[in-house]
Amino acid sequence: MIGKRAQDFINRIIVLLLLFIGMLVVVTPLAWMMISALKSQDAVNTNPPQWIPTEQVKVQVNGKSAFLYNIEVDGILRQLALTNKEGSTGTFVNPEKPEEQYQLPVASGTRATRIYFHWENFVLAVTKVPFFHYLLNTMIIVVFGTLGTLISCVLVAYGFARFRARGLNILFLILLSTVMLPPQVTLIPTFILFRKIGWYDTLYPLIIPAFFANAWDVFLLRQFFMTLPTELDDAARIDGAGPLQILWHVILPQSYPVVATVTIFSVLYAWNDFYAPLIYLQSESHWTVALGLQAFNAVFTKQSHLLMAASALMLIPPILLFFFAQKLFIQGVVVSGIKG
Amino acid sequence: MKLERLNLRNSGVKPASKPRSLRRQEALWAYILISPWLIGFVIFTLGPMIASLVLSLTRYNITTAPVFILFDNYIKLFTGDPKFWHSLGITVRFALIAIPLNLVFGFVLALLLNQNVPALAFWRTIYYLPSVIAGVAVAILWSLIFNPRFGILNWLLSLVGIDGPGWLASPDWAVPALIIMSLWSVGGGMIIYLSGLQSIPTTLYEAAQLDGANSWQRLFYITIPLMSPVIFYNLVIGIIGTFQYFTEVYVITATADTGLGGPAESTLFYNVYLYSNAFRYLNMGYASAMAWILFIIVLGLTLLVFRSSALWVYYEGALRK
Amino acid sequence: MKNKLFALFITASLLLAACGTAPAANKPVNITVFVGFGAGSDPDSMEALKTIASEYNSSHTDIQMEFTFSTWEEHASKFSTLLAGDLTPDLAFPIGIQGIAEFFDEWIDIAPFIKEDKYDTSDFYGPALELLNYPDKTIGLPVGVYPSIVFYNEDLFDKAGLSYPPSAYGDSNWTYDQLVELAKTLTLDENGNAANSAGFDAAKINQWGWGGWCGPFRTIPGKFGGNPLGMDAEYKTAEMNTGGYLEGAQFLHDSIWVTHVAPTSEELSSSFGGADNPFEGGATAMWECFSWMAYAYPTFNNFNWNVAPIPAGPGGDIVSPTNADTFAISAHSKNPRQAWEVAKWLIEPEMLSRVCGILGCMPSRKSLAENWVKDMSEEYSNVDFQLFVDSIQYMDASPNNEEWVPNYQKVWDATENTADILRTDGAADVQETMDTLDAEVQGYLDEYWASK
């Protein structure tokens, strides 16, 4: 019979092992993203793909740029620059002594390469676009949007979870049904609506609707609120508390994990959304980070290295938020003894 | 020692009925509390929804005003458009596999990440990372994984002697590739399960352990029943989201040589075909009709799930009638 | 406190007065230019275009211009919302033939403007002008042209000990059949066996002699004597299961599954960063594509490369499928005249040269060809850019491979889907596949005419 300590230990090992294997799967594309962010532009799309940022070496010879080759001359391996090509024969010169020239078949040499990490790509990604402006706009949307979502969704979910009224169930179904219609077909009517209000090219369409709750978060909060026992509510009510006080003093303190979840989702959505900004914003001074960085994937000038750098940078705020929000995911704070 | 199975039904001791005035007050509060949504619904949502319903009865190519053709769009969809059924089939088959897989994976992952292991915050963050990456970068990353020749997946398969398929480039394997892709970002759903798991009182587990329950019994008799509201949430959200599956396919195939919904229309999901009708064929009326048909389907499925919830979803704080 | 309020009041009244007395009559006309139908939405281009806009604005008082940017992926939904929301941009620039076809009814006829201003169009390439002359309207004037060319990897030829393809048009031996023969020696499996040798393993090809045609299927039939549009001149009957369409499809299918010189769809997607680019990775000896591949030239530079003329089809037809950029004026624009003025300014020779430098196009003016060849040759010294200019005479001006047909996008999707089938299914019967396509497209044509 294995003792409890040993059993725990084995369990932990198994879990760690599973997590580790899973992590490899999950982390590999992310590692690729980081590595690609450090490559030069012509190194991103090589075949086969590189796992270490490697690029071909160019040198200056007589004021012109030339590729460096590893090529054998009289049996010795040299590094020479290819300055001219006539058919399959090339003129190779010594970059330090340009008078030293050789006529050799190009196919007998290979391009010299070097490993180089282009850390400046991260800087480029944020300086090629008015990043600070974008960031400001995004923060406004994120902060106010999340605030609006939290306030409205908590109130609405509380109403659906803890109260009874005629027609409330129907309304809940209507709430859910609002997200069952593909948004492509409501895009134009919604756009015309916002246009008529005069909100085109402003941040309002991206913020104001958040103050009127959304189906996903209300549904989630409602489910969660319904798992909380009602005894504490009753006790508070007997003590004379009104519905809002019950919400504030009883419900919410038991709901940190789900409120944290809603916050994280809301921030993440506002942070990453580029579609709504694309449709409702016009002047670049109103653009958001997500929209601005989309530009690096433009169809005829794929700057994948900058796109990867930009995408990697975009990960930082949501990750930080999640990491620090872990504190709220502590094991249940529910007061025990009631079900006793 | 016998463990008592937690009562899953919402029945309970019926207290004495409330007096009318209290009920009316309760109803008033209910409506006040949900008014933010109600108002927003009327202002921002109801109008466009009705507009799209009306548009579904028209021919509308955006450059000129809509023309009423009544139910022609619907008739054409059901009787004269093979792509309608094709796209519906792809979507349903995808849903049947992806929804259960995502439910199970997300739940298992959350269980794993709820254990007492060192550096828990680190592990959770790692698994959460994929769902944070936005659109375009995801496509590029996935072309790495699914690349038939150099991709990681086929490389792993070759280690065990399997010659990997063409994945996103192959009509037969594109959808499986998308299913695998959907699992990668299961970390998003994991958070929801985590928040549910966090609120299960540890006293219950302690009591069960005192009663001699092993971990499997604790899982099936405590964890899953108490998590059923969250599982229910993920199921409903999964249905609604999966039937509208679009963004990933669009990001991966819109600029690919094989065109939107390729290769060979194997990834022509319902919403992808809808998008094509709306913004590429400029057939907004037709697309609106497609949207409302989908609406009916999803609503029907959701109602079914809601009906069934009385059988398997347990709310600790459910209001007794 | 009172003083502060008073000061505020004075300032406010002064401001109001200033606004009130501003001359209302001479407000400049605002022209919005939509960028998103083609190139121009990347950060560098955006910067450069905005600079151009401010140069225009500081030198003009009656008209002010502004660029509106959209990503290419979303240009259709963005433009649609602007249209529906009564915010239609005045100009679309740059916009290709495909973009024109997407919103075909939206563009006005600029022939009256050309006539009124007696605008001199002689400097533009004739075929490019023809491209933009539709039966009932002239939609724009060419900005950039992108003819097709054969890119080839000199290093792979050197390794195989083969001499390069011809360097000029006029070699009567340079046909697609000859290209395929050449490609066989350049197609190697992972053991180094060429496609025309014993022991060649077609399932394990490492290097392809020919990457195929990068463009849509409609670029192919013309080379085989057919009509790119695949239908009669009245757009009433589909003709996609005979002639050029059928022969082109057969050639495509054979090149992949019989001679094995071209990659399958799966193998094509193995090239990174863009499934339509087998050349970039250095594993393809020859590949035909448009000159807008210029954005990938830096990556091509990972090996020694050059360009060759377009080969002739079996009937002797030399067709260089061409894309072209133009501008188009929206029918919902409130100031079409002013939009025309802005467009004219943008295509003046010097400005056009600059614009093409930004967008990566070959200028559509004959007078700019020499400088363009010179500039490109300086950057890529090994490559013969004169060939691009020479290819213009073989361009598919009318009908063009991107040109409008009824139910444009549906027909487009159908032909692309068929090309897909040809590239993924070795066992497909080409005649049957084209018959299916023909029937489907006929359906779209019938549908279109029935609704007229």
HSE (CB half, 13 Å, CA atoms) of A21? 8
Regarding the domain with residue range B73-320, which homologous superfamily does it belong to in the CATH classification?
A: MetI-like (1.10.3720.10)
* Residues C371, C385 contacting (CB under 8 angstroms): no
**Host H or E run for residue B309:** helix B284-312
DSSP letter for A48, please. S
**Segment C319-328, tens digit of pLDDT:** 999 999 999 9
End-to-end CA distance of chain C: 72
Whole-number pLDDT of residue C20: 46
Dist. CA B279–CA B228, nearest whole Å = 40
**Segment C141-153, tens digit of pLDDT:** 999 999 999 999 9
CB within 8 Å: C42 and A105: no
Whole-number pLDDT of residue B1: 29
- What is the pLDDT averaged over residues A41-66? 84
Which residue(s) pair with C91 in the sheet?
A: C33, C329
Whole-number pLDDT of residue C6: 52
- What is residue B47's three-state secondary structure? helix
**Segment B15-28, tens digit of pLDDT:** 556 678 888 888 99
**Segment B137-187, tens digit of pLDDT:** 777 788 778 888 777 788 888 888 888 888 888 889 999 999 988 888 787
Buried b (16+ CB within 10 A) or exposed e, C70-100: bbbbbbbbbbbbbbbbebbbbbbbbbbbbbb
Whole-number pLDDT of residue C5: 55
- Structure confidence at residue C432 as a pLDDT band (50, 70, 90): very high
Instruction: Using the predicted structure, report yes or no on whether residue B198 has a pLDDT greater than 50.
Output: yes
- Extract the tokens encoding C170: 């006029």
What's the alpha-carbon Rg for chain C, to the nearest Å?
25
Whole-number pLDDT of residue A329: 63
Whole-number pLDDT of residue C27: 84
Whole-number pLDDT of residue B80: 87
Whole-number pLDDT of residue C118: 94
Instruction: Using the predicted structure, report yes or no on whether residue B14 has a pLDDT greater than 60.
Output: no
- What is the pLDDT averaged over residues B247-273? 84
Nearest chain C Cα distance for residue B105, angstroms: 30
Percent of chain B past pLDDT 90, that is, above it, reads 42
| A80-89, B7-16, B68-77, C158-167: range with lowest mean pLDDT | B7-16
- What is the pLDDT averaged over residues C255-263? 93
- What is the pLDDT averaged over residues C384-395? 94
| A221-230, B7-16, C225-234: range with lowest mean pLDDT | B7-16
Residue C394 or C272, more confident: C394
Q: Which residue of A has its CA nearest to B315?
A: A227
Dist. CA A262–CA B190, nearest whole Å = 13
Q: Residue B162: what residue type?
A: I
Whole-number pLDDT of residue A197: 93
* Residues A36, C261 contacting (CB under 8 angstroms): no
Dist. CA A90–CA A104, nearest whole Å = 6
Chain C residues with CB-CB distance to B under 8 A? 72-73, 76-77, 80, 83-84, 102-103, 105-106, 214, 265-270, 272-276, 331, 407, 409-410, 413, 416-417, 420-421, 424-425, 451
Whole-number pLDDT of residue C17: 47
- What is residue C365's three-state secondary structure? strand
**Segment B93-135, tens digit of pLDDT:** 999 999 999 999 989 888 888 887 778 888 888 888 888 887 6
CB within 8 Å: C77 and B258: no
Dist. CA C91–CA C29, nearest whole Å = 13
- What is the pLDDT averaged over residues C329-349? 95
Region of C63 on the Ramachandran plot (φ > 0 left; ψ -120 to 50 alpha; else beta): beta
Return mean pLDDT, chain B. 85
Dist. CA A38–CA A184, nearest whole Å = 37
DSSP letter for A71, please. E
Dist. CA C271–CA C343, nearest whole Å = 38
Regarding the domain with residue range C148-318+404-450, which homologous superfamily does it belong to in the CATH classification?
A: Periplasmic binding protein-like II (3.40.190.10)
**Host H or E run for residue C285:** strand C284-290
Q: How remote is the C-alpha of A318 from its chain's centroid?
A: 7
CB within 8 Å: C269 and B147: yes
Burial of C173 (0-12, 13-18, 19+ CB in 10 A): exposed
* Residues C285, C157 contacting (CB under 8 angstroms): yes
**Host H or E run for residue C308:** strand C305-308
Question: Of B277, B140, B282, C251, which is closest to residue A34 (Cα–Cα)?
Answer: B140
Neighbours of C351 (CB within 10 A): 15
* Residues C338, C31 contacting (CB under 8 angstroms): yes
- C-alpha to C-alpha distances, C212 to C160, C216, C249, C264, C423, nearest whole angstrom: 20, 11, 12, 10, 10
Q: What is the interface pTM, i.e. ipTM, of the complex?
A: 0.88
Whole-number pLDDT of residue C273: 43
- Chain C CB contacts of A111 below 8 Å: 302-303
- Structure confidence at residue A339 as a pLDDT band (50, 70, 90): very low
- Chain B CB contacts of A334 below 8 Å: 199, 201
Segments making up each domain of chain C, as ranges: 29-146+322-394, 148-318+404-450
Q: How remote is the C-alpha of A88 from its chain's centroid?
A: 48
Whole-number pLDDT of residue B2: 30
Return mean pLDDT, chain C. 89
Instruction: Using the predicted structure, report yes or no on whether residue C22 has a pLDDT greater than 70.
Output: no
CB within 8 Å: A182 and B130: no
Which of A5, A12, A39, A185 is the best mutation test for B, with the most CBs of B within 10 A?
A185
Pinpoint the alpha helices (H) of chain A. Answer: 4-37, 120-127, 131-162, 168-177, 187-197, 204-207, 215-225, 231-238, 243-246, 256-272, 275-280, 289-294, 304-325
Contacts of A270 (CB under 8 A, 6+ apart): A138, A141, A142, A145, A146, A206
Instruction: Using the predicted structure, report yes or no on whether residue B69 has a pLDDT greater than 70.
Output: yes
Is it true that C29-146+322-394 and C148-318+404-450 share their CATH fold? yes
Q: Which residue has the tokens 């949501």?
A: A318
- Chain A CB contacts of C295 below 8 Å: 300-302
- Structure confidence at residue C271 as a pLDDT band (50, 70, 90): low
Question: Of A31, A28, A27, A50, which is closest to residue A39 (Cα–Cα)?
Answer: A50
CB within 8 Å: C272 and B143: yes
**Segment A144-163, tens digit of pLDDT:** 999 999 999 999 999 999 99
* Cα C269–Cα C408–Cα C316 angle in degrees, nearest 5: 70
* Residues C159, A107 contacting (CB under 8 angstroms): yes
Chain A neighbours among B 59-88 (CB < 8 Å)? 62
- What is the pLDDT averaged over residues B48-69? 93
Omega before A48 within 30 of 0, i.e. cis: yes
Residue A295 or C109, more confident: C109
Neighbours of B136 (CB within 10 A): 23
Q: Which residue has the tokens 């990174």?
A: C272
Dist. CA A226–CA A157, nearest whole Å = 10
- What is residue B95's three-state secondary structure? helix
- What is the pLDDT averaged over residues B50-69? 92
Which residue(s) pair with A59 in the sheet?
A: A66
**Host H or E run for residue B54:** helix B47-55
Whole-number pLDDT of residue C52: 95
Dist. CA B104–CA B87, nearest whole Å = 26
Dist. CA C28–CA C21, nearest whole Å = 16
- What is the pLDDT averaged over residues B197-204? 82
Which of A10, A227, A233 is the best mutation test for B, with the most CBs of B within 10 A?
A227
**Segment A192-232, tens digit of pLDDT:** 999 999 999 999 999 999 999 999 999 999 999 998 888 98
* Residues B290, B278 contacting (CB under 8 angstroms): no
Instruction: Using the predicted structure, report yes or no on whether residue C21 has a pLDDT greater than 70.
Output: no
- What is the pLDDT averaged over residues C399-425? 91
Whole-number pLDDT of residue B222: 86
Omega before B36 within 30 of 0, i.e. cis: no
Whole-number pLDDT of residue C274: 43
* Cα B47–Cα B48–Cα B52 angle in degrees, nearest 5: 120
CB within 8 Å: A300 and C42: yes
Whole-number pLDDT of residue B12: 43
Q: Is the dihedral of CA C67, C73, C78, C80 positive or negative?
A: positive
* Residues B136, B143 contacting (CB under 8 angstroms): no
Q: Which of A176, A190, A319 sits opposite B48 (nearest CB)?
A: A190
How many Cβ pairs closer than 8 A exist between chain B and C?
A: 98
Q: Which residue of A has its CA nearest to C295?
A: A301
Nearest chain B Cα distance for residue A323, angstroms: 6
Neighbours of A89 (CB within 10 A): 14
- Extract the tokens encoding B268: 């022509």
Q: How remote is the C-alpha of C257 from its chain's centroid?
A: 28
Dist. CA A199–CA C19, nearest whole Å = 23
- What is residue B125's three-state secondary structure? helix
Dist. CA C405–CA C204, nearest whole Å = 40
Q: Parallel, antiparallel, or unpaired for β C29-35 and C91-96? A: parallel
- Extract the tokens encoding A231: 């005894």
Q: How remote is the C-alpha of B39 from its chain's centroid?
A: 26
CB within 8 Å: A88 and C77: no
Q: Which CATH class is domain C29-146+322-394?
A: alpha beta
- Chain C CB contacts of A184 below 8 Å: 77
Whole-number pLDDT of residue B16: 54
- Structure confidence at residue A27 as a pLDDT band (50, 70, 90): confident
- Extract the tokens encoding C404: 């409008």
* Residues B94, B175 contacting (CB under 8 angstroms): yes
Q: Which residue of B has its CA nearest to C418?
A: B264
Q: Which residue of B has its CA nearest to C281?
A: B150
**Segment C78-99, tens digit of pLDDT:** 999 999 988 999 999 999 998 9
